[in-house]
Chains A and B, each alone.
Chain A
Amino acid sequence: MSNIVAKTGNEAMAEAMRQINPDVVAAYPITPATEIVQIFSSFVSDGKVDTVFVPTESEHSAISACIGAAASGARVMTGTSSQGLALMHEILFIASGLRLPMVICEVNRALSAPINIHCDHSDTMASRDAGWIQIFSEDPQEAYDQTILAMKLSEDIFFPAMVTTDGFIISHAMSRLEMYSDKEVQDFLGEHKTPYNILDTEKPMTVGSIVLQDFYMEIRTQMAAEMFKAKAKIQDAYAEFNKKMNRNYNVIEKYFMDDAEYVIVALGSTAGSARYLCEKLRENNEKVGVVKPRVFRPFFAPELVEILENAKGVAVLDRSDMMSSTGGHLFNELKSAFYGNAKQPPMKNYIYGLGGRDINMSDIEKVLHDIKEFSVSKVKDSDVKYITVRE
């Protein structure tokens, strides 16, 4: 039985954690993700979960404790944001290299300097090569659902996963949340699965041993192959979630894409704004559409190419910059995905909303005008444009 409540993104993620009832949560607070583990720590104090809560002295320690716990066969979660995720960076690779399932509830926030506590995707994007599954959410409902989904998925594929919301925009904004019963969540998760357990005294083992020229290449090749295989399993996980939890999620969401000529591709909360705008523009028969990839890692390249290749213009919105002179992360992935494809829709990058700068309907509408102009005139000016900025 679902229960309808009003919750912020952080509250929704904390509720998902409560219902998952992990064995261990190790965490360190950071704006705007603090509330997730703060609320969760109340659940611990109130005896609503069976979790061992480990308040650590840094995020580096928090994720390290998570690794130790996961390697000992525990179901493990944590939450963080921005500098916190950056401080975890070194250990993120160890979690994935040891193939340990766990979930980070990550709230997207800009990285310093200058110091800023508001939303952009720089933090999550900076960990994109760490071997973690990365899932973006548009609102508290998706954050809640995908946190539950990611826990099971992570245990199915033995890769850690981070589920993200947008700082303040989702984390602190209250909206309607349809919650499952605790039992439904537990039934969905099923038996906890772990790749190995270092506390199994019957079977002593060495985990994390040094591996030099003779085996490192092999084990990383195996990991890459497993990540490739994980793509199908992620699709299966969404299908199973939809069936059991009565949802209709896809790895890549398409809105008005049957006949859309001009398309906006965006991650997280902005996809919702773009969809709202397209609904309005559709009333005037403008053939516009939106594509919202939920999963950024692994990257669903051929699937996105298939969805986008017939568009007359593709506007890729990035809330992060690679500082490489080649635009944002999503744009670079999509451009490379299109390499060698027969059809090459005109594609342009719009970097927006850094450090929490608002993006309004009028900004997205301007993007649609610009991509139309770009695709008609085929003027080869810069294909990367910074918007929502004072010129």
Chain B
Amino acid sequence: MKKNWKELDIALIVKKGGTAQDFKTGDWRSSKPLWDQEKCKQCLICWLFCPDSSIEVKDGKMTGIDYEHCKGCGICAKECPFKAISMEEEKK
């Protein structure tokens, strides 16, 4: 349960530093990119285009999508030359 108004610290200070890292900016996404590993040719066009650095890459290979920061803009799906990414509406 999130704290109610009586339980919050004054001015909503956060009692630690570097908190920007903990801020999940992807939680207001209305549609979600789905990656089809089978179709993917690892061209990394999606990685190049994603405005939110949400294409996860390891050792030069795409490994998935960072849903904690992905805004669901759909650019990756549009740009993928192999239609390996499709968009699906978020169900909340």
Contacts and interface: CB of A to CB of B under 8 A. Distances in A.
A207 B14 CA distance: 7
A242 B20 CA distance: 47
Interface string B3-19: 11110101111111111
Of the listed residues B3, B14, B20, the one surrounded by the most CB atoms of chain A closer than 10 A to its CB is B14
Nearest to B2: A214
Interface in A195-216: 195-196, 203-211, 214-215
B5 A203 contact: no
Contacts of B18: 204, 206
Interface residues of B, number: 18
B12 A209 contact: yes
Contacts of B13: 196, 205-207
* Residues of A in contact with B, size category: 20 to 34
A219 interface: yes
B90 to A, nearest CB: 16
Contact of B10 (A196, A217, A218, A221): A196
B2 A219 contact: no
Contact of A207 (B4, B5, B6, B11): B11
A222 interface: yes
B14 A205 contact: yes
A122 to B, nearest CB: 29
A319 interface: no
B15 A222 contact: no
A205 B16 contact: yes
A7 B23 CA distance: 54
A219 B11 contact: yes
Main secondary structure of the interface of B (DSSP, over half): loop
B2 A215 contact: yes
Of the listed residues A205, A211, A221, the one surrounded by the most CB atoms of chain B closer than 10 A to its CB is A205
Given A218-B3, A222-B5, A99 B16 contact: no
Contacts of B5: 217-219, 221-222, 225
Contacts of B20: 209
A39 interface: no
B4 A209 contact: no
Of the listed residues B11, B16, B19, the one surrounded by the most CB atoms of chain A closer than 10 A to its CB is B11
B8 A209 contact: no
A218 B11 contact: no
Given A209-B19, A210-B23, A215 B10 contact: no
A100 B10 CA distance: 10
Given A215-B2, A218-B4, A222-B5, A195 B11 contact: yes
B12 A204 contact: no
A42 B32 CA distance: 63
A117 to B, nearest CB: 36
Contacts of B6: 222, 225
Given A210-B23, A218-B4, A98 B11 contact: yes
Nearest to A198: B13
Contacts of A374: none
A205 B8 contact: no
A158 B19 contact: no
A158 B15 CA distance: 18
A100 B13 CA distance: 12
Contact of B12 (A100, A211, A225): A211
Interface string B58-87: 000000000000000000000000000000
Contacts of A218: 3-5, 8
A195 B10 contact: yes
Q: When A and B form their complex, which 6 residue pairs have the shortest distance between CB atoms, in order from nearest?
A: A204-B17, A218-B5, A206-B14, A221-B5, A99-B11, A206-B19
16 contacts: A195-B11, A196-B10, A196-B11, A204-B15, A205-B16, A206-B13, A206-B18, A209-B12, A209-B23, A218-B3, A218-B5, A219-B8, A219-B11, A219-B12, A222-B6, A225-B5
Interface of A: 97-100, 158, 195-196, 203-211, 214-215, 217-219, 221-222, 225
Given A99-B10, A99-B11, A225-B6, 19 more contacts: A100-B11, A195-B10, A204-B15, A205-B13, A205-B15, A206-B17, A206-B18, A207-B11, A207-B13, A209-B19, A209-B20, A210-B23, A215-B8, A215-B12, A218-B8, A219-B5, A219-B8, A219-B12, A221-B5
